[in-house]
Structure 1
Amino acid sequence: MKKRYIKILEYLEQSENDFVNGSELASLFNVTTRTIRNDIREINESYLEKVVIVGNNQKGYKLVGDLSNIHQNEDDYEERAFHIIKTLLSETDFITYDELAKKLYFSTQTIRKDVQKLFQIIKAEKRNIEMEAIIFQGIRLKGSEVEKRLLLKKLVTTNCLKRMSLDEALQYYFDDWFSQSSIQLVCSCIEEEVTKYNLLLSSQELFSICVNIIISLKRVGLNQKISEKDMRLDNTSFEELKIAKLILTRLVREMNVQ
Structure 2
Amino acid sequence: MKLTRRESIIINKLKQNPNGLSGNKLAKILKVSTKTIQNDIRGINCFFDEQIKESSNRGYVLIVDEINPNLFSYEEDISSRNNQILEKILLKNSEYNYSDLANSLNVSESNLQLWIKECNDFLLKYSLKINRSKGYVFLSGKEINKRKLINHMIHDELNSNIYKDNEVLKYYDKINEDELLKVLNDFLENERLRIAPYYQTSIYLNLLSVFERIINKLQIETADIKVLKSSAEYKLALELCSYVSSKYTISIIESEVYFIASLFVGQLKDEKIDSSIYVSTSFVEKVDSLLLKTFNHYMLNSKYNDFCKCQL
Question: Shorter-chain TM-score category?
Answer: 0.5 to 0.7
- 1:53 maps to what in 2? 52
Indicate if the aligned counterparts of 2:89 and 2:139 stay in contact, CA closer than 8 A: yes
- 2:163 is the alignment partner of 1:166: yes
Q: By how many angstroms is 1:206 displaced?
A: 1.4
- 2:258 maps to what in 1? none
Deviations 1:112-170 (A, max 9, x none): 23233135434xxxx4x543333x523212243222212322444478225xx3025x7
Q: 1:114 aligns with which of 105, 113, 118?
A: 118
Q: By how many angstroms is 1:9 displaced?
A: 7.5
Give the Cα separation in 2 of the matches to 1:193 and 1:8. 48
Deviations 1:31-90 (A, max 9, x none): xxxx85x45522312467659531234654323436862889654434443443343222
Q: 2:170 aligns with which of 160, 167, 175?
A: 175
The amino acid of 2:42's aligned partner reads: E
Indicate if the aligned counterparts of 1:166 and 1:207 stay in contact, CA closer than 8 A: yes
Q: Secondary structure at the match of 1:91?
A: coil
Give the Cα separation in 2 of the matches to 1:191 and 1:142. 35
- 2:143 is the alignment partner of 1:150: no
* Gaps in structure 2 of 5+ consecutive residues: 251-312
Give the Cα separation in 1 of the matches to 2:213 and 2:81. 20
Q: Secondary structure at the match of 2:167?
A: helix
Give the Cα separation in 2 of the matches to 1:72 and 1:167. 34
- 1:210 maps to what in 2? 204
- Sort the Cα spacing of 1:72 and 1:78 in 2 relative to 1 into closer, same or farther, 3 A: farther
Indicate if the aligned counterparts of 1:53 and 1:61 stay in contact, CA closer than 8 A: yes
Deviations 1:2-21 (A, max 9, x none): x9xx79974x5554x2256x
CA RMSD, aligned part only?
4.5
Give the Cα separation in 2 of the matches to 1:183 and 1:232. 28
Alignment of 1:66-215 (within 5 A): 69=69, 74-89=75-90, 90-96=92-98, 99-104=100-105, 108=112, 110-122=114-126, 127=127, 129-134=128-133, 136-157=134-155, 160-161=159-160, 165-168=162-165, 171=167, 175-178=170-173, 182-183=176-177, 190-197=184-191, 198-203=193-198, 205-215=199-209
Indicate if the aligned counterparts of 2:89 and 2:138 stay in contact, CA closer than 8 A: yes
Give the Cα separation in 2 of the matches to 1:194 and 1:118. 38
- 2:223 maps to what in 1? 231
Q: Secondary structure at the match of 1:18?
A: coil
- 2:40 maps to what in 1? 43
Identity, in percent, stands at: 15
Which structure: larger Rg? 2
Indicate if the aligned counterparts of 1:132 and 1:139 stay in contact, CA closer than 8 A: yes
- Sort the Cα spacing of 1:44 and 1:246 in 2 relative to 1 into closer, same or farther, 3 A: same
Q: By how many angstroms is 1:223 displaced?
A: 2.4
Give the Cα separation in 1 of the matches to 2:153 and 2:160. 15
Indicate if the aligned counterparts of 2:52 and 2:61 stay in contact, CA closer than 8 A: yes
Indicate if the aligned counterparts of 1:54 and 1:62 stay in contact, CA closer than 8 A: yes
Q: By how many angstroms is 1:251 displaced?
A: 5.3
The count of residues paired between Structure 1 and Structure 2 equals 229
TM-score normalised by structure 1 residue count: 0.62
